[in-house]
Chains A and B, each alone.
Chain A
């Protein structure tokens, strides 16, 4: 059953629709036609606004018609269509939307005085139209100026209709009774229409005030400020307000900007980038904007409160991007505008950011968070910002002279400049990977030339203020040369060693990229030249050549006009032939390039990080970029483990404190050293890089073995110190102190714990150097081995004078057509096999353990043969060991032995490991002897022994 109120509503909608139609046809359409006849900008703007108003009006008609239809439908079929089917109740929001749009369009026209502009010209025509309209718009006065009537005719129907709607809906609700299901719906609609009335009123008030303002301002100011959508919210002429230090005669708050007027000067501040901060003073508050900061002061606290409230609300509204409904400040919570926002802004003040556009997150008027900064010259920064400056990871592009060439920095930033690890791909195609400080390459880094450069190079080393400085290695592939040594201001300067592709290497003192004074040059045939020579390895000036046979040639040298070497010198043939092992094992750089000062720059970033207390935010700057991804990886692997919740440094510092027992500590250090996210792991990887850059490729030269060997030990010492440094930080976090470590304990830890852990990382390059250094002896040894390998077991035992009662003949299993004297590789097989395992490990200690087990196998075999325990004296042991070594046929045994000896924990010196190693070395030496190599028969040996 349809109520009386609904019937009335129906009539109301009918009347409203009719009114709208009349207004549309009699006013809006003529207005559009009467629109601008010339194409001035303002005229086009007027037309646009009128078109907008027309569209809004049509929408209004449309929605009113739908509302009417819904009412009619309910009238005819009250049973199927409930109250909620009415558009006014069920879809009130939609109606609201359309009404608001209409109000917006209308007030925009009002503000820019569209009606006045139009009315100026055709007043007579309009008088006729008004006459036609009069009977359709009852209760409206058509007296007065044309523009006022036009404005009223476009406004009045809406105002009236809203009033009547609210009244009727109230009646409808009262008629429904409290328990009616649609009660709530109707109440909502009432509120909504009530709010719409308030909204309309506020919009009209604001428009009136704005219109008045434009009227009062000079045309220049008006042109500068006036836009159709801008509304005045507060004026310092109403509530006085002054600004400091920016001066302002007048302060205007619009819905999108705060404007300060001072004479002809206009300061406009976008509300979205305006922050309000309270001040102690009760009449003042502070305004922050990206480039200005000023205080606004009212005459009294009340005035301040009004302004502060309005500004805050206006900011909130501007940030939301739509009008508060129903009135300013009534929008959804939060009442205070947020401190952090995301807006684009172009800086105009002189300085670093002049004309640059920042797009991204802001906090309290400064870029803060993620954002993009673009300069008009094409520079580009994408990354993290903190309080207005680049901070954290960022990518920075700097365009180069030619198009599509950029210097691209992927780097960590600290307070506006590059600091920490970064990669720079230059426009010239050079690539730098390393550390920066204050925006410059500083610390350790690797610079690669462009792949197609005419003189390709790679520099691995230290930088200072963007220049090569300190210790560094530069490979010059076009010259086939590698310089290892000291640098200053991008030039070779100080002591340096040069190795060449050809195998020649020299050591000298450099100044400003040139070698000065005498140097030492070692050529491949093991002759040595001490004196002055050129970069092209031409001997020039005073010098002395020492030939491998011990002859020396001392005097002055020069390169002649033609080819060859001219010399005036003394040849000394009297010297005794030197020990070949000393001439071909000469080492360069040892002592000249002190190992402690070689790779300082690698450790500097680490120690900076540790001394700062391992702050999490610096971790990534230290490690590079893997932190995030590897942390995620780790998290996915250890799902559900809570330790990563804090992430970063806390996690690994916690880890450090856990294991203290040697085995657990070894495991922990091993994990740390192999982990990409761990500072120790990063250190080790960087050191591997330096090691390869120095000793791989051209650097695999036997004369560098000394440098390499001491470097590895130094790395172990430094890494142990680094571990202690981290431990100290971890303990400090817990309020504890790290107990001191005496030199002896430290040496034990370094050699017993750290060195075996880091050695595998350097092993292949290091072993290659040992291999080259001992090539000659290893060659003789191989000859010895192969000559001994032709002997059957018993023959060899006899040859080596092993007592017959020690021969393990029980081990020989013979087939019917074999004789024991012909069997090979059967005796002491277990010891032989054991010894062969020495090459399967890298750790010197494990190698020594293998050696000890080999001894035990020999002893066990002998005891079995004798049927009782037997302690072998050296008279018996050495021949047996020679036998086992010759049967094990280990390649490059000399390199192995010397590497073990150099890397062995000094604590073992003189002890049983030292003894075993010496025994092994003596076997190695023995096998190299001429009589072993040259197949001397036992008879000959006996003769020699009897000599």
Chain B
């Protein structure tokens, strides 16, 4: 089975729980030995999808405002971006919209966007209604789920959603012995033959 490497970029305000979501996603299955991580900033996880394996290379970014201008370096070449907001903070949803706008303008072509409304376990102090998020996601064609890293809610679903949106390999390129497929200068998605 072919392994496809998918670079996923995590965006969102500091404190919304970007890395918690990834930690939860990655920690449930232990493949650390195979792919060393950089703390909680860079992690990988491989999941089956159809007749392919998707290896997510998850790049965290710093959420502080002052580092925003550095983000393009991180999302360049990404196949997908997970944009996280805190359902208890309207501001974080506002930042999310800025990210979506930036990605549309400067991000890689055909980047898959997934919106995660984190901390859904705290829905009693919710500031962002689910409908707002859904409507917004629909308007931009993004995957959307409300998650709870704390209670491991919808984490798997978030990434499955991304997997489904990744277009399957071009059959022509697939025939090419599983070689890395290049799109433009940087490969947004790579496929490698399974050893």
A residues whose Cβ falls under 8 Å from a Cβ of B: 742-744, 801, 852, 855, 859, 870-875, 877-879, 906, 909-912, 915-916, 918-919, 921-922, 925-926, 929, 941, 944-945
Binds A, one of B35-43, B96-104, B113-121, B135-143: B35-43
Of the candidates A744, A911, A941, A945, the one whose C-beta lies within 8 Å of that of B57 is A911
Q: Lowest 8 A-B CB distances belong to which pairs? A: A873-B19, A874-B60, A872-B39, A878-B62, A871-B40, A922-B70, A910-B7, A871-B39
> Is there an interface contact between B38 and A912, defined as CB atoms closer than 8 Å?
yes
* Given A855-B38, A909-B77, A875 and B179 contact (CB-CB distance below 8 Å): no
CB distance from B194 to the nearest CB of A (A): 13
A912: chain B residues at CB < 8 Å are 35-38, 42
Q: How far is the CA of A910 from the CA of B39 in the complex (A)?
A: 16
CB distance from B110 to the nearest CB of A (A): 16
- Give B157-173 as 1s and 0s: 1 = Cβ < 8 Å from A's Cβ atoms: 00000000000000000
Most A Cβ at <10 Å: residue of B57, B70, B77, B186: B70
Most A Cβ at <10 Å: residue of B18, B40, B177: B40
Contact of B2 with A by CB under 8 A: no
Q: How far is the CA of A743 from the CA of B182 in the complex (A)?
A: 14
* Given A922-B73, A922-B74, A874 and B61 contact (CB-CB distance below 8 Å): yes
Contact of B146 with A by CB under 8 A: no
Of the candidates B14, B37, B186, the one whose C-beta lies within 8 Å of that of A909 is B186
Q: How far is the CA of A801 from the CA of B35 in the complex (A)?
A: 30
A801: chain B residues at CB < 8 Å are 64, 66
B residues whose Cβ falls under 8 Å from a Cβ of A: 5, 7, 10, 14-15, 18-19, 23, 35-42, 57, 59-67, 69-70, 73-74, 77, 177-180, 186-187, 190, 192-193
> Is there an interface contact between B18 and A873, defined as CB atoms closer than 8 Å?
yes
Given A910-B57, A912-B38, 10 more A-B residue pairs with CB atoms under 8 Å apart are A744-B177, A855-B38, A871-B40, A872-B39, A873-B18, A879-B64, A922-B73, A926-B70, A945-B64, A945-B65
Most B Cβ at <10 Å: residue of A859, A909, A910: A910
Q: How far is the CA of A79 from the CA of B10 in the complex (A)?
A: 123
> Is there an interface contact between B73 and A874, defined as CB atoms closer than 8 Å?
no
* Given A873-B19, A878-B67, A915 and B5 contact (CB-CB distance below 8 Å): no
> Is there an interface contact between B42 and A915, defined as CB atoms closer than 8 Å?
yes
A743: chain B residues at CB < 8 Å are 177, 179
Of the candidates A744, A909, A910, A918, the one whose C-beta lies within 8 Å of that of B179 is A744
A945: chain B residues at CB < 8 Å are 64-66
B41: chain A residues at CB < 8 Å are 872-874, 877, 915, 919
A944: chain B residues at CB < 8 Å are 66
Q: How far is the CA of A945 from the CA of B70 in the complex (A)?
A: 15
Residue of A nearest to B192 (CB): A744
Q: How far is the CA of A874 from the CA of B59 in the complex (A)?
A: 9
Q: How far is the CA of A878 from the CA of B42 in the complex (A)?
A: 12
> Is there an interface contact between B38 and A875, defined as CB atoms closer than 8 Å?
no
B40: chain A residues at CB < 8 Å are 871-874
A910: chain B residues at CB < 8 Å are 5, 7, 57, 77, 187, 190
A870: chain B residues at CB < 8 Å are 39
CB distance from B39 to the nearest CB of A (A): 4
> Is there an interface contact between B39 and A742, defined as CB atoms closer than 8 Å?
no
Residue of B nearest to A878 (CB): B62
> Is there an interface contact between A921 and B73, defined as CB atoms closer than 8 Å?
yes
Most A Cβ at <10 Å: residue of B10, B38, B73: B38
A915: chain B residues at CB < 8 Å are 38, 41-42, 57, 59
Q: How far is the CA of A909 from the CA of B42 in the complex (A)?
A: 13
B14: chain A residues at CB < 8 Å are 875
